[in-house]
Amino acid sequence: MRARDRERVLSELASRVVEETARAGRVEEALADAVYHEQRRLKEDRSKTRDDEQSFWRDVQSEMRRASERALLDQLRRVVRRYGDEICGQFDERVYNSVTRAGEPLIGLLLNAVSPKKIFGELFDERHLPRFDDSVVLQGEIPLLHKLRERGTLILVPTHVSHMDSIAVGYALWKLGLPPFLYGAGLNLFSNPMLGFFMRNLGAYTVDRRKQDPLYKRVLKEYCTLTLENGYDNIFFPGGTRSRAGAVEKKLKLGLLGCGLPAWTHHLQAGKRDKERFYIVPATLSFQLVLEAETLIDDFLKEQGKARYIITDDEFSRPKRVFDFLTQLLSLDSKIFFTVGRPIDPCGNAVDDQGESLDARGRRIDPTRYLLVDGKPTVDDQRDAELTREVGERLTDAYARDTVIQCTHLTAHATLNLLRKANAGIDFVRLLRGGGRVDDVPLRDLHAEVRRLLDELRGLHSRGGVRLGPIALDKDAEDVIADGLRHFSIYHAQPAVLRKGDRIASGDRALLFYYSNRLEGYRLERGTGLRSPLTPDHRALAKGA
Amino acid sequence: MTTTTSSPKVAVLGAGKLGAAVTGLLASAGARVALWARRPEASAAVQQTAGKGVDVAATIADAVRGAQLMCFAVPVDALREVARAAGDVTTGDQIALHACRGVETGFVLPSEVLREETCLKQIGALGGPLYLDDAAHGRPLVAAVGARFDDVFRAVRLLTKNTRVRVHATHDLVGVELCGAISNVAQLAAGMAEGAGLGETDQGTLLVRGLAEAAQLGAARGAEAATFLGIAGVGDLIPRQVTSTRRNRHLGREIGQGTAAARAMTAHTALEGPVTAREARTLGDRLGLKLPLIQAVDDVLWRGAAPAEALERVLALDLSLSF
């Protein structure tokens, strides 16, 4: 957030939240909750700021004992302000300008920022920087994205598989000539001082997922609403957390997605006419390989859906690994697809090429009507939650349509299908742990299975139900498998799929499962007797899988 | 939304028994009702009975424009056409109610038809006993309203504030629609049983089976089990004479007594039960659900099965209800 807006937004934030709490007669309760939740969290906290935080909350607690109405309001304002400051952080326009002007080395810089040592050793030495130029493919509704940006404020909602997503999205936006969007990033990503510095200055604000205090969540939501009202485009990762199973998200955590509705209502109440609209833009990211695949699938299998919400010790925290991942991936001429989907309005309606909302039959409608109560624009939490639920449904449809299926996904899915058939009757989890009668399958069976999947997927693709990478689109099964194997061989410790003469095996079946899951949800196994190993929301293993 | 006069404008689309009752009820509660019916003489007759506060609208658009709430009082097979015409003028702040108790071909629910044909999102399904004769005798009219948006409940309560309508609200829109649709199928079965000379226990068993099968379809379509135990489900079964399902029961009775199903259905057009039975069976087959009652009704109506044998097979099954 720009310096000139910061103070205004934070003070508006404080007055809104404090007034709302006071109106509900919940000032004391909200403070007591905050003190309780924060002190409890701090007991487990090992960070450097712990002492400072503990003394802050002790002070709030002792001030509360005075308990005059006024004193309580002051304390509430103080707490809200503290949360607001933490979320918003500091943004330096000069850094932002220099980084965005730096152009192509931006990503290298960002990656190097993961490792302070690297930045001194190899700063701007482009030979060492992974080049995204030929690798990131931008496709989909890009002209519309530019057009809608002139009419209103954008909420970009990409799929979330890897921490590389934020870097790829950042790159894509830069490449499209758009300024950085604001986005919430987990506090753990700021712990590296260099990376945190750049993230902060490229629009990231802080989300501390460890904070359970309802007041904190309220402040976070109001902060997002206010940034939107002030015309800042935002990025929300609606899964909230990276997909553990590697599947396309089916049930979204909507969280901050609903902020567009109150922001829009406030614009209407204020009579704002210029750029008063908001647009939700789905986007998908597709990598052939996923940096943290091993950690994510391991977490999925360990917890079976009750995933740890925050993983702090994964591949992303190891700079060398990130660097190697990208250089190796890009050396294979691998494509990373950033696909912009068809935008919708915050009420869940489609919009036309002029940004006007449409009903299901394509007639233009006035979407602001949904925000009226008794003829006046009014914020209504129940209504907004329901409209946002619809937005979530539209987004999951868009994700399924705009996911780009690549060779690693196809090769893994076909291999897993064959292993499952060859080991019929074996418990699925046992199979993933390396059990079963059969370890490998004939290569020619894999050819046939990939061919079958390609037939299904190409049919679906022609009906607009999915997107395919260049090889999957019009090359032979043999080419798909060769490309898949090539990718699997370069990065992971044990390849998900490997060739042994004329047979195909898996070096790591959990990984195999992870990459295979990208094809879940398309009903590709109809009539084969194989049931999906995942629940319909793709967040857990299906019963009896 | 109209703010020029203090009394809200309500559109009633359809002047059948339900449309007439709703018109009379709301007009007596002080609303301005714009009534449209396919046959103008039908609206004129209702207007004459209801009296003050009722305008006959020449077109659907005239009725709907500026209305705070619109009530689709047409059977499900007419809903799409009426909704499409309304959709030319509807706005996002308007509220829609429907009283359909059936589905379209493809198992499309009435609320889904409204979503496909209009920009309306605040949609409520009327269900439960909705026993219009009670209202005619000055007794309370009891209805379930299923809607996802609280605004629908607020609007219905406000409009019926001075009437003896008792509204039971639930967010389970799909559940209310399924209760109504499948209860028609169950009433067909009970009617067939009655016509074929089976006793009241058997008729009751068939009705309960119908509810259990509705709940199974409900689970597949995201409805809540509790809805089937509430006023829209059990609450609709217990009153013996349920207006909206009486005609389906009557059709069932004729078939049970030996009239060929095809001939009986030709004589009772615009009934929602038969198509619903057929579509529910198709959906159940696709989803792998066990729906023996729905299947039996479909067999009798559309596949020439003999009613007594088909129902006996259902009655012989162990009715262990599991929701």
Residue A92: what pLDDT?
Answer: 66
Q: Tell whether B55 is covered by a domain.
A: yes
Q: Residue A545: its pLDDT value, please?
A: 67
List CB contacts (< 8 A) between A347 and chain B.
92, 121
B214, part of any domain: yes
What would the pLDDT profile of A336-369 be if each residue is shown by its tens digit? 899 999 999 999 999 999 999 999 999 999 999 9
Write the DSSP string, B104-116. Answer: BTTTB-HHHHHHH
Rounded CA gap, A428 and A433, in Å? 9
Least confident piece of the model among A185-194, A431-440, B122-131, B253-262: A185-194
B208 and B148 in a single domain? The answer is: no
The C-alpha of A98 sits at a distance from chain B's nearest C-alpha, in angstroms, of 46
Q: Which of A511, A333, A272, A351 is nearest to A415 (CA)?
A: A511
Same domain, B165 and B250: no
> How many C-alpha atoms does A310 have within 13 Å on its Cβ side?
11
**Chain A residues near any Cβ of chain B (below 8 Å):** 347, 349, 359-361, 363, 365-370, 372-375, 380, 382-383, 386-387, 390
What is the per-residue pLDDT for A239?
65
What are phi and psi for residue B75, nearest 5 degrees?
Answer: -70, 160
| pLDDT given at position A118 | 46
- Specify the length of chain B in residues: 323
Residues B64 and B121 in one domain: yes
Residue A305: band (very low, low, confident or very high) from pLDDT cuts 50, 70, 90: very low
Q: B116 CB near a chain A CB, below 8 Å?
A: yes
- Reported as a single tens digit per residue, the pLDDT across A19-42 is 999 999 999 999 999 999 999 999
What is the Cα–Cα distance from A120 to B290, expressed in whole angstroms? 69
Q: Which residue is closest to B68 within chain A, CA to CA? A: A374
Residues B72 and B124 grouped into a single domain: yes
Per-residue CA distances from A379 to A218, A265, A376, A384, B122 (Å) = 15, 6, 10, 8, 16
Q: Do A366 and B150 touch (CB under 8 A)?
A: no
Which stretch, A112-126, A281-295, B297-311, has highest mean pLDDT? B297-311
Structure confidence at residue A116 (pLDDT): 42
Beta-carbon count within 10 A of A117 CB: 10
pLDDT band per the 50, 70, 90 thresholds, residue A204: confident
Residue A55 carries which side chain, given as an amino acid letter? S
Q: How many whole angstroms separate alpha carbon A483 and alpha carbon A486? A: 5
A370, A373, A390: which to substitute to probe chain B, counting the most B Cβ within 10 Å? A370
Q: Look over chain B and give the mean of its residue pLDDT values, rounded to a whole number.
A: 91
ipTM of the complex: 0.90
Contact A386 B87 (CB under 8 A): no
Interface check for B117 against chain A (CB to CB < 8 A): the answer is yes
Q: Which residue has the higher pLDDT, A120 or A324?
A: A324
Instruction: Classify residue B225: in a domain, yes or no.
Output: yes
Nearest to B239 by CA among B144, B310, B102, B98: B144
| CATH number (domain holding residue B190) | 1.10.1040.10
Provide the 3-class DSSP secondary structure of residue A522. Answer: coil
Tell me how close the Cα of B289 comes to any Cα of chain A, in angstroms: 17
Residues in A touching B3 (Cβ below 8 Å): 375
Domain endpoint, select from B169, B193, B209? B169
> Greater confidence, A310 or B283?
B283
Do B184 and B153 lie in one domain? The reply is no
Closest chain A C-alpha to B151 CA, distance in angstroms: 8
B133 and B199 part of one domain: no
Cα separation, A304 vs A541, in Å, equals 6
Structure tokens at A15: 């007055």
pLDDT of residue B261 exceeding 90: yes
- Asked if residue B160 is part of any domain, the answer here is yes
Closest CA to B315 of B189, B195, B216: B189
pLDDT tens-digit readout, A86-112: 998 766 666 666 655 554 445 555 544
Would you say A272 and A149 are in contact if contact means Cβ atoms under 8 Å apart? no
Q: Three-state SS string across A402-432, please?
A: HCEECHHHHHHHHHHHHHHHHCCCCCHHHHH
Closest CA to A36 of A100, A79, A86: A79
Q: Is residue B322 part of a domain?
A: no
Give the number of other CB atoms < 10 A from CB of residue A515: 29
Cβ within 8 Å, pair A363-B93: no
Q: Cβ of B149 and A369 within 8 Å?
A: no
Chain B positions in Cβ-Cβ contact with residue A363 (cut-off 8 Å): 87-88, 119
CA distance B176 to B146: 6
Note whether A363 contacts B88, CB cutoff 8 Å: yes
Tally of structural domains, chain B: 2
Domain endpoint, select from B148, B169, B190: B169
The whole domain housing B219 covers 174-315
Q: Tell me whether residue B320 is in a domain.
A: no
For residue B277, give Cα distances in angstroms to A130, A319, B271, B280. Answer: 62, 62, 11, 5
Shared domain check, B189 and B87 = no
- Of the three residues B129, B150, B169, the one that is the final residue of a domain is B169
- Of the candidates A369, A382, A383, the beta carbon closest to that of B91 is on A369
Instruction: Report whether A138 contacts A144 (CB < 8 A).
Output: no
Asked if the model's pLDDT at residue A224 lies above 90, the reply is yes
The model's pLDDT over A387-420, given as tens digits with 9 standing for 90+, comes to 999 999 999 999 999 999 999 999 999 999 999 9
**Quick one: pLDDT at residue B180?**
94
Q: Is residue B149 part of a domain?
A: yes
Put simply, whether B68 touches A (Cβ < 8 Å) is no
In order of their start, the domains of chain A are: 3-88 (no CATH), 93-340+361-398 (3.40.1130), 404-519 (1.10.10)
Question: Is residue B158 within 8 angstroms of chain A, CB to CB?
Answer: no
Contact between residue B156 and residue B96 where contact means Cβ atoms under 8 Å apart = no
Is B121 in Cβ contact with A347 (below 8 Å)? yes
The span from the CA of B149 to the CA of B96, in Å, is 11
Q: Nearest by CB to B151, which of A349, A363, A383?
A: A383
Q: What confidence tens digit (pLDDT) does each residue in A449-459 have? A: 999 999 999 99
Strands B32-36 and A136-140: unpaired
Choose the closest CB to B93 out of A372, A387, A390: A372
CB–CB contact A382 B150 (8 Å) = yes
- Chain A contact for B1 (CB, 8 A cutoff): yes
B162 Cα to chain A: minimum distance (Å): 20
Residue at B1 is within a domain:
no
Measure CA B158 to chain center: 22
For residue B88, what is the nearest residue in chain A, using CA coordinates?
A363
The pLDDT of residue A285: 92
Region A297-313 average pLDDT: 63
**Contact check, Cβ <8 Å, A360/B150:** no
Q: Which of A189-193, B8-12, B166-170 has the lowest mean pLDDT?
A: A189-193
CATH number at residue B16: 3.40.50.720
Q: Is residue A69 scored above 90 in pLDDT? A: no
Please name the residues in contact with A357: beta carbons below 8 A apart, sequence gap of 6 or more.
A345, A347, A349, A350, A351, A364, A365, A366, A367
pLDDT at residue A53 tops 70: yes
Between B190 and A315, the more confident residue is B190
| Percent above pLDDT 90 for chain A | 56
CB nearest to B118's CB, from A359, A366, A387? A359
Residue A307 pLDDT more than 60? no
Give B120-156 pLDDT, tens digit per residue: 999 999 999 888 887 778 888 899 999 999 999 999 9
- Predicted confidence at residue A94, as pLDDT, reads 66
Contact: A361, B148; criterion CB under 8 Å: no
Using the Cβ of B220 and the Cβ atoms of chain A, whether some distance falls under 8 Å is answered with no
Query: For chain A, what is the mean pLDDT?
Result: 86
Q: Residue A445 has what pLDDT?
A: 97
In chain A, what residues touch B119 (CB-CB under 8 Å)? 349, 359-360, 363, 365
Shortest Cα distance, chain A CAs vs residue B92, angstroms: 5
Q: Give Cβ neighbours of residue A371 (< 8 Å, ≥ 6 apart).
A: A261, A264, A265, A268, A347, A377, A378
pLDDT exceeds cutoff 50 at B208? yes
Q: What is the pLDDT of residue B120?
A: 98
DSSP string, A84-101: HHHHH----HHHHHHHHH
| Between residues A481 and A317, the one the model is more confident about | A481
CA distance B143 to chain A (A): 23
Q: Does residue B134 share a domain with residue B22?
A: yes
Q: How far is A393 from chain B (nearest CA, A)?
A: 14
CA distance A344 to chain B (A): 14
CA atoms within 13 A on the CB side of B95: 29
> Which among A361, A365, A380 is the nearest to B92, CB-wise?
A365
The residue of chain A with its CA nearest to that of B66 is A375
Residues in chain A, how many?
545
Same domain, B33 and B155: yes
pLDDT at A237: 82
Chain A residues lying within 8 Å of B151, measured CB to CB = 373, 380, 383
Q: What are phi and psi of A503, to 5 degrees?
A: -125, 160
What per-residue confidence (pLDDT) applies to A99? 58
Closest partner CB to A361 (pick from B92, B117, B150):
B117
Q: Which pLDDT tens digit goes with each residue over A505-530?
A: 999 999 999 999 999 999 999 888 89
Structure tokens of A145?
A: 């994205």
Distance CA A73, CA A68 (A): 9
> Do the Cβ atoms of A203 and A180 come closer than 8 Å?
yes
Residues B55 and B115 occupy one common structural domain: yes
Quick check: A361 and B87 CB within 8 A? yes
Q: Which of A349, A366, A380 sits opposite B91 (nearest CB)?
A: A366
Please indicate whether, in this complex, the C-beta atoms of A372 and B1 are within 8 angstroms of each other.
yes
| Backbone φ/ψ region at B69: left (φ over 0), alpha (ψ -120 to 50), beta | beta
Q: Model confidence over B218-260: pLDDT tens digits?
A: 999 999 999 999 999 999 888 755 555 688 999 999 999 999 9
Query: Are residues B294 and B269 located together in one domain of the fold?
Result: yes
Could you say which of A349, A369, A386 has the minimum Cβ distance to residue B93? Answer: A369
> What would the pLDDT profile of A144-180 be if each residue is shown by its tens digit?
999 999 999 999 999 988 878 877 887 888 888 887 7
Among all chains, which residue has been given the structure tokens 């935008």? A343
Contact residues on chain B for A370, CB-CB shorter than 8 A? 92-93, 121
Q: Report the residue of chain B nearest A358, measured CA to CA.
A: B119
Q: Which of A370, A374, A390 sits opposite B92 (nearest CB)?
A: A370
The reply to whether B99 and B246 lie within a common domain is: no
What pLDDT, on the 0 to 100 scale, is given for residue A107? 53
Q: H/E/C letters for each residue in A244-313?
A: CCCCCCCCCCCHHHHHHHHHHHHHHHCCCCCCCEEEEEEEEEECCCCCCHHHHHHHHHHHCCCCCCCCCC
Share of chain A above pLDDT 70, in %: 86
| Structural tokens at position B276 | 């619903």
Query: What's the DSSP call for residue A127?
Result: G
